[in-house]
Structure 1
Amino acid sequence: MTPKPPWHGPHAADQTQRPDPSGSTRCGARSPGRHPTLTSSETAAELVAQAQAVLLDFDGPICSVFAGYRAHEVAAEIMKRAAAAGYALRPDDSDDPISVYKATTGMDPDVIAVVEDALVEEASTALSRTEPHPGIPDRVRQLHTAGHRLVIVTNNGGGRVSAFINRHGLADQVEKVIGRDARRPSLLKPSPDSILRALAYLDLPPEHGVFVGDSTSDVDAGHAAGLPVVGYANKPGKDQRLRDAGADAIITSMGDLVLTLRPRTLRPCPAAGDA
């Protein structure tokens, strides 16, 4: 497969080269690339076990934001409001509210404001009705107990996602929520902006983290930021799309992330020249 070109956007110059999956870029850690018999789920568990920080997408891995509040109806409502204000949008996916907002990239700030305000209102209602996926609170606690720093990186609004995390008792485990940069749709994933902000907050290089997401834009964003990416195939057909996008491992259950977890023991890297 021909390698995909790096993401070109406002932070393209900030990109860090991805760790070589066949080498040992993590101090004291084994590389999944040295274990060709591992399944994709086992590879995902190895990537997580090696990481100091686990960055998680929100909509998909943690919950379904518009579950019980149909996404295509929300997208249609947002487009209707934009049209009423005199703005015609042409999203890549007219059934996806985030795609509708992303379609305002490069448009007048007034258009962006109208659409984002409508998105915030609809997402707030949706999140008030949504629960974490079954088992997710336990998976999050297992990751935290094993010594991983957890950050949610999302195209949704950070404040409302933080409120969701608080409401469901996960604030002690999730260290930070990095949401979209308001009024800047060009910085939504697949831009690496939110992931780079997460790494800056953590004060960690990308080789000490892993990103878990359920979309091809998550894969592109994670790789553009220099992170290995675990693709979460939570719907039929997603596994192939994530694989084609270059995900480093594919899982069909978030429980696969904790297959081999044990408390992490951080050891100092050997000095240069030591073996």
Structure 2
Amino acid sequence: MLFDLDGVLVDSRDAQLATLAGYATAALGKRVTVADLPADAATTPREYVLSDLGLDGSINEEGWAAASATATLTAEVFPYVAGTLAALREAGVGTGVVTLRSRERVNWLLPQDILDRLDTVVCYEDAQPKPAPDGVLLALDRLEVSPRAGIFVGDTETDIHAAHAAGVTAVGAGWGFAGPEALTRAGAHLVMPRADHAAFVLPLLVGIGRQEDNSKRS
């Protein structure tokens, strides 16, 4: 079972918006607050958001990293995560993260006890970014799981499109950045409206998937 990071495992929406505002403040030399950002800033590529604020050209990655490092101090892992990952491991289910974050920033966001519960982490530098299926397929290959048996839990249309392209079951995390309606429109096979649903829905999905797989082989 694979997960996106931001908005799915980590409550980082406010941190993402604060990073955008902080970077824009430093680059423009004037105060930019979260309220000044476009309404869809959390789900829009950063280049477009910053362009709307009056910034043109490439992003200074050192400046972005500094803004992100400060902002992510406020991000916290969702309460369901530790117990769910532990339950999946106990059931013999491989787990992983497929994220657009760099490996450095993954380590900023996830505490070591959560990283220890994951079997693989695929970052921005490891594969073609979503919505391409490459990262999902790389994680499945590392876990030795076929796409037919794979599940990817994401919170944006990009995640759902990547899941479809990889041929895995697409599960929408409705508590994340895009919201349940957008995930349904994008084609999620199942949308969980709230994070507290994950603790019992995800292990159930694994059990159903195994039953279906066994029935196809018999």
TM-score normalised by length of structure 1:
0.59
- C-alpha separation between the residues in 2 aligned to 1:204 and 1:82? 44
Call closer, same or farther: CA 1:188–1:236 in 2, change over 3 Å.
closer
Per the TM alignment, residue 258 of structure 1 is displaced from its structure 2 partner at its CA by 4.2
1:157-188 C-alpha deviation (Å, 9 max, x unpaired) = 22331354344x12331112211128x9xx43
Q: How does 1:76-95 map to 2 (within 5 A)?
A: 76-79=21-24, 95=41
Q: Which amino acid aligns with 1:216?
A: E
Match of 1:178 among 104, 122, 136: 122
> What is the match of residue 12 of structure 2?
65
Q: Which amino acid aligns with 1:203?
A: E
Q: Does 1:142 align with 2:83?
A: no
Query: Which is higher, the Rg of structure 1 or of structure 2?
Result: 1
Call closer, same or farther: CA 1:80–1:120 in 2, change over 3 Å.
same
The sequence identity of aligned pairs, in percent, is 23
Residues 172, 191 of structure 2: 8 Å contact kept: yes
Q: How does 1:47-196 map to 2 (within 5 A)?
A: 54-67=1-14, 69=15, 71-79=16-24, 95-96=41-42, 99-101=45-47, 112=58, 114=60, 116-167=61-112, 169-181=113-125, 187-196=128-137
Q: Which amino acid aligns with 1:142?
A: A
Higher helix share: 2
Aligned-partner SS, 2:95: strand
> What is the match of residue 189 of structure 2?
248
Per the TM alignment, residue 131 of structure 1 is displaced from its structure 2 partner at its CA by 1.8
- C-alpha separation between the residues in 2 aligned to 1:252 and 1:72? 22
Per the TM alignment, residue 148 of structure 1 is displaced from its structure 2 partner at its CA by 1.1
Call closer, same or farther: CA 1:202–1:176 in 2, change over 3 Å.
same
- C-alpha separation between the residues in 2 aligned to 1:103 and 1:197? 30
Residues 93, 99 of structure 1: 8 Å contact kept: no
Per the TM alignment, residue 211 of structure 1 is displaced from its structure 2 partner at its CA by 0.1
More relative contact order, 1 or 2 (CA 8 Å, 6+ apart): 1
Q: Which amino acid aligns with 1:117?
A: E
- C-alpha separation between the residues in 1 aligned to 2:49 and 2:96? 27
Residues 232, 254 of structure 1: 8 Å contact kept: yes
- C-alpha separation between the residues in 1 aligned to 2:40 and 2:185? 23
Match of 2:174 among 221, 224, 233: 233
- C-alpha separation between the residues in 2 aligned to 1:96 and 1:236? 6
Per the TM alignment, residue 240 of structure 1 is displaced from its structure 2 partner at its CA by 1.6
Residues 74, 97 of structure 1: 8 Å contact kept: no
How many residues in Structure 1 have an aligned counterpart in Structure 2? 199
Match of 1:259 among 190, 193, 200: 200
Call closer, same or farther: CA 1:112–1:151 in 2, change over 3 Å.
farther
Provide the alpha-carbon RMSD of the alignment.
3.7
Residues 190, 221 of structure 1: 8 Å contact kept: yes
Call closer, same or farther: CA 1:113–1:95 in 2, change over 3 Å.
closer
TM-score normalised by length of structure 2:
0.72
